[in-house]
Amino acid sequence: MFHKNAGKMRVVAGAVCLAALWPCAAQAQCTSWERNTDAGDKAIGEGRFDVAELIYWDALQEAEKFGPNDERLAQSLNNLASVYQSEGRFSEAEALYKRSLGIWELNQKTASPCAITALSNLGSLYLDQGRFEDASAALKRSMELEKGSKEPDAHALANILNSLGMAYSEEGKYADAESTLKVAMKSYERLSGPEDPDLARVVNNLGLLYQRQDKNDKAEPLFKRALTLQEKAFGPDHQDVAATLNNLGLVYDSQAKYAKAEAIYRRALAINEKTFGTEHPTVATNLDNLARVYRLQGKFAEAVELWKQTLAIREKLLGLEHPDLGLTLNNLGVVYFDMGRYKDARPLLERSLAIRRKALGPDHPEVQTTYTNLMAVYEAMGEFDAPQELLKGEIEEAESANDSQRLTRSLSELGNLYENHSKLEEAESLFRRALEIAERSNGAESPEVQQRLETLAALLKSMQKTDEAAELESRAQAIRAKLAERSSPK
């Protein structure tokens, strides 16, 4: 089966630090810095990031005059970094966050509210960069510091939990993500009531987690609840509204309600182009999803054009190794496969697999999606050498990592390749090895062993080794019966 991927929008935000926390050494400078910082905070609240950037830049120039280790400088660095992050300027944002944290560390105030904010923001930035383990580490550290502070801020802890829950989700740790997001949601409800816009963020993200697992019956009401909260708090044209619209669109297109999904994606795209301009990572996500709806309706040429636009934006803004770029390459490869353009699909999917493996690790579900897609292209092209080399590499890595599940899967897939190319003895050897590992790792009566027995039996039948094939089929049937007995209600 050929698989696609959807572009989903987490709702986490880089937070700014409040102004006027320290006494003024030079009143004129301090007043100017405070005024600019307050104005920048106001522009952020209104979603006017281009204005906030200019104002925070002026505040930073004033703060530089206070000295290289002044805490107001650290605050201004964080605030400008949060704008850069929202604009998709990740490298610049990371440098400013790290410089801000360095000042707090030098002043031995890593547990101060603004230091914790900067560390949390760095964690959310790592999420945007696809550096999920780094994100989890930074967010866990910020949570520890917040809990250990003299007066822990319950609202700040809820914000950190929201971001940490999404980091777990991106890592494929869905159970951890669900429990973390539910704790965050209960915290928001307890602290601010059922109409807090911050509650809308975690409600949206919990819906996104369910949608990622195809639990649309749970996702849809959460997205609608978040949308109602956001529109009431921010109006109909806010970026958070667009993010939730985008995610609600994913539910509709998974339900084949394509006209409804297309209308929602177009509304989200219009909001984000107005807010960010036409070249922004968020706009790229909107284009990606709109392209997918076109593909699902068989409008392949329109889908290709939008995915090419998405590819150009992500290459320019995110660099050549970002997992979102891998997503676009995967999706463009999918539509070329649909069109029978296998030679065009192949290099895109090969590049996507390399990017996603590096960013997400070999066992991530999205990596497996691209891997499956690439193998489908190889099969359609009648390729042998390329998939053989890919699978041999998978086997070597699985052996080095002592990953028995991945090893049995790769051995079986290489066996399937050999069988399809009439190399039956080579296939038999691999299937036997996969069976042996499955028995050793999972036990002699596991579903994995049943599957391997059935695969080997089918091959042996085709090789006229009927007696052994019958014996293996009998073993598989006995395991199936025992498994059914165990799962039946008592």
pLDDT for 111 equals 76
Which residues lie below 8 Å from residue 424, measured CB to CB, with a gap of 6+?
418, 459, 462, 463
Nearest alpha-carbon partner for 294 in 277, 310, 281: 310
Q: What is the mean pLDDT of each run of 10 residues along the chain (490 residues)?
A: 44 38 39 89 77 92 93 92 81 92 85 85 86 91 88 88 91 94 93 85 92 93 94 92 92 92 96 91 91 94 96 87 89 96 97 87 82 93 92 90 90 92 94 93 90 93 94 92 75
According to CATH, the topology of domain 384-490 is 1.25.40
Q: Evaluate whether 1-152 and 384-490 have a shared fold.
A: yes
For 339-384, where are the alpha helices, taking DSSP H only?
Answer: 342-360, 365-381
Q: For residue 145, what is the enclosing H or E element?
A: helix 132-148
Distance CA 443, CA 427 (A): 23
Amino acid at 419: E
pLDDT for 140 equals 94
Query: Residue ranges of the domains in the chain?
Result: 1-152, 384-490
**Which two structure tokens, joined as six digits, stand for 52?**
């906030």
pLDDT for 362 equals 82
Distance CA 370, CA 43 (A): 41
Distance CA 159, CA 194 (A): 16
Distance CA 287, CA 268 (A): 10
According to CATH, the topology of domain 1-152 is 1.25.40
Instruction: Tell whether the torsion through CA atoms of 222, 224, 225 and 230 is positive or negative.
Output: positive
Nearest alpha-carbon partner for 41 in 114, 116, 135: 114
pLDDT for 260 equals 94
